[in-house]
Amino acid sequence: MQIAIAGGHGKIALILTRLLSDRGDRVVSMVRDPDQAGDVTEAGGEPVVVDLEHSSDDQLDRVLTGCDAVVFAAGAGPGSGAARKESVDYAAAVSLIEAARRTGVRRYVMISASGADPDAAGDEVFAVYLRAKGRADRELASSGLDFTIIKPVGLTDQPGTGQVATNEPSLTGQVSREDVAAVVAEALGRDDSIGATFRMSAGTTPIPDAIGSVS
Ligand SMILES: NC(=O)c1ccc[n+]([C@@H]2O[C@H](COP(=O)([O-])OP(=O)(O)OC[C@H]3O[C@@H](n4cnc5c(N)ncnc54)[C@H](OP(=O)(O)O)[C@@H]3O)[C@@H](O)[C@H]2O)c1
């Protein structure tokens, strides 16, 4: 497969790039700082410099043309204000949905967040973030694309275990970025996760079985 990753220098994205390139996929990885290109190359990806908040349709179309799938792994990040939750977590994700539709890329995997909800209450920046992510998820789910929306709980940099929980009663407070990347990689390789939206945390179910249970 040829897979485009938005937010290609992010922590999950770099782990995912390595997983995908090791199994023979071609990864086209969008970074906004040219100085990040070397890390992407080292992980096995092909860096392309795109600032998702200031990109043109043509620029996105060029990146996505020829791809089989796109993964949205970008995020405004902690410490950013409400405006960037809107311009990255919502608008950049939607720009890529539109570009995927224009260029015929059917598959779109969204790294969302556990509490993402278009109607999340509150005025604080975290609530703005949850609404932005929830609105982007809603647009993806109604886009007609072959989507999977993955909603992890809080992320850690602990080593992955290869085991997660995707069933509501067994969700815990945290999950490692390595396990999230492994879930994205597994979902990309399987059609049975198309149309699924699910929360995930650390857990005790092997990732292939966990993906099977959401489909
Ligand atoms: N933190 C949590 O506990 C948590 C929980 C659930 C879900 N999530 C979601 O998980 C996803 C990935 O998490 P992570 O820890 O891997 O994120 P991360 O390391 O912060 O990576 C996000 C990436 O997005 C990039 N980005 C930001 N603005 C951009 C722009 N305008 N154009 C291009 N790229 C841009 C960043 O680039 P720069 O390096 O240039 O800033 C960064 O490389 C995010 O969507 C986040 O919302 C997070």
Nearest residue (by CA) to ligand 1, atom 43, is 10
Q: Please write the tens of the pLDDT for every residue from 35-85.
A: 999 999 999 999 999 999 999 999 999 999 999 999 999 999 989 999 999
Q: Please write the tens of the pLDDT for every residue from 78-117.
A: 899 999 999 999 999 999 999 999 999 999 999 999 999 9
Q: Please write the tens of the pLDDT for every residue from 151-172.
A: 999 999 999 999 999 977 878 8
Task: Please give the CATH superfamily to which domain 2-214 belongs.
Answer: NAD(P)-binding Rossmann-like Domain (3.40.50.720)
Mutate to test the pocket of ligand 1, among 39, 49, 129, 155 (most ligand atoms within 8 A of CB): 155
Per-residue pLDDT, 167: 78
Cα of 76 from ligand 1 centre, angstroms: 6
Question: What is the helix (H) or strand (E) element at residue 213, kind and residue range?
Answer: helix 207-214
Q: Residues 72, 90, 129, 198: which is the catalytic one?
A: 129
Cα of 151 from ligand 1 centre, angstroms: 14
Q: Tell me, yes or no, if 108 is annotated catalytic.
A: no
Q: Where are the domains of the chain?
A: 2-214
